[in-house]
Amino acid sequence: MAFGEKKGFFAKLKEGLTKTKDGMVGKIEDIIFQRPKIDEDMLEELEEALILSDIGMDTTDNIISQLRKDIKTEKLAEPQQVKDHIKKIVSDLITREEGNQLSDKTPLIILMIGVNGAGKTTSMAKIAHMLKEQGKSVMFAAGDTFRAAAIEQLEIWGDRVGVPVIKHKEGADPSAVIYDAISAAKARNIDVLICDTAGRLQNKKNLMNELEKMNKIIAREYPEADQETLLVLDAATGKNAISQAKEFGGVAKLTGIVLTKLDGTAKGGIVITLADQFDVPVKFIGVGEGMDDLQTFDPQSFADALFD
């Protein structure tokens, strides 16, 4: 990647995290730099600031507990050292051993799940755009057959990014759409098939059955394909995103999270909670409305953009 491209990537990330930085990190800096020494009062105020920044109680406890250890073992004395250690703790929390990268194997099937309104369809389009720029061929499967608008919306995005869409009529069996899409993907030697799914959680049993049926068809019809199941969450929903992650994690074997709309909220601390509380890596974050503003999640760049 060229130097200019990397700079552009980081500049977009930093700009997209402005509201979170001003909110969460701004509070942390006010607490740290307005106190003459590192003491218990400072730690209590930091704890409160983290909780108010939509970082969950358990994750906040983990951060503050590690900070206490660092203060003691490394004999921290300067306020800037406290900020640096919080940054390192956060970076360690959000870094996954299994990595935050989307599988680069082909053929690849991606199941996109998440509630309506989270940005699922636009995320599909942005991932498709990213993959096409890598030289890969992409196809969409309109697996959300419960809403005619979902099929139409996917077709619009398909036209915009130059991706064919396999669809059936509204109310059709979603698994039949996946079956036909796999057949078409094989026939056309498509590298990546991205499948939309119904965005509802009201009846978890129906959703579980539907996803199980889709997965059986994928395993039977395309066993050589690698598979990702990505959960799309709206960052602006804050702690509600945690509830959705728990609910969807109970009905699907997730391989990654796509966190949208980070640029429009001060609740970006939710990335830290998701990474800490769930054994599922964040793979993409949305830092703007542009086609290039869905970025592969890089933990170190995220921590740098937030704290520097």
Q: Which domain holds residue 150?
A: 108-254
**What pLDDT, on a 0 to 100 scale, did the predictor assign at position 178?**
96
Which of 4-8, 150-154, 250-254 has the weakest average pLDDT? 4-8
Same domain? 12 vs 76: yes
Q: pLDDT at residue 194 above 90?
A: yes
**What pLDDT, on a 0 to 100 scale, did the predictor assign at position 97?**
65
Same domain? 88 vs 173: no
Mean pLDDT across 291-299: 86
* Structure confidence by residue, pLDDT tens digits, 199-246: 776 567 788 888 899 999 999 999 999 999 999 998 888 777 888 888
- The answer, as to whether pTM is greater than 0.85, is yes
Q: pLDDT at residue 130 above 60?
A: yes
Mean pLDDT across 42-59: 86
Same domain? 8 vs 44: yes
**What pLDDT, on a 0 to 100 scale, did the predictor assign at position 203?**
65
Mean pLDDT across 63-86: 89
Task: Using the 3D structure, point to which of 94, 121, 139 is the last residue of a domain.
Answer: 94
**What pLDDT, on a 0 to 100 scale, did the predictor assign at position 215?**
92
Percentage, residues of the chain above pLDDT 90: 42
Same domain? 128 vs 220: yes
**What pLDDT, on a 0 to 100 scale, did the predictor assign at position 4?**
39
Same domain? 127 vs 88: no
Q: pLDDT at residue 5 above 60?
A: no
Q: Is residue 65 part of a domain?
A: yes
Which of 89-98, 122-131, 186-195, 230-239 has the weakest average pLDDT? 89-98
Q: pLDDT at residue 98 above 50?
A: yes
**What pLDDT, on a 0 to 100 scale, did the predictor assign at position 3?**
34
Q: Is residue 44 part of a domain?
A: yes
* Structure confidence by residue, pLDDT tens digits, 149-173: 899 999 999 999 999 999 999 889 9
Which of 96-105, 172-181, 207-216 has the weakest average pLDDT? 96-105
Same domain? 59 vs 169: no
Task: Using the 3D structure, point to which of 26, 59, 94 is the last residue of a domain.
Answer: 94
**Total number of domains in the chain:** 2
Which of 117-131, 160-174, 285-299 has the weakest average pLDDT? 285-299
Give the pLDDT band of residue 9 (cuts 50, 70, 90): low
Which region, left, alpha or beta, applies to residue 162 given φ > 0 means left and ψ of -120 to 50 means alpha? left
The mean pLDDT of the chain is: 87
Which CATH number goes with the domain that contains 202? Answer: 3.40.50.300
Same domain? 11 vs 56: yes
**What pLDDT, on a 0 to 100 scale, did the predictor assign at position 1?**
38
Task: Using the 3D structure, point to which of 235, 254, 273 is the last residue of a domain.
Answer: 254
Mean pLDDT across 127-156: 93
Q: Output 100 or 302, whichever has higher pLDDT.
A: 302
Percentage, residues of the chain above pLDDT 70: 95
Tell me how far apart the alpha carbons of residues 52 and 229 are, in angstroms, rounded to a whole number: 31
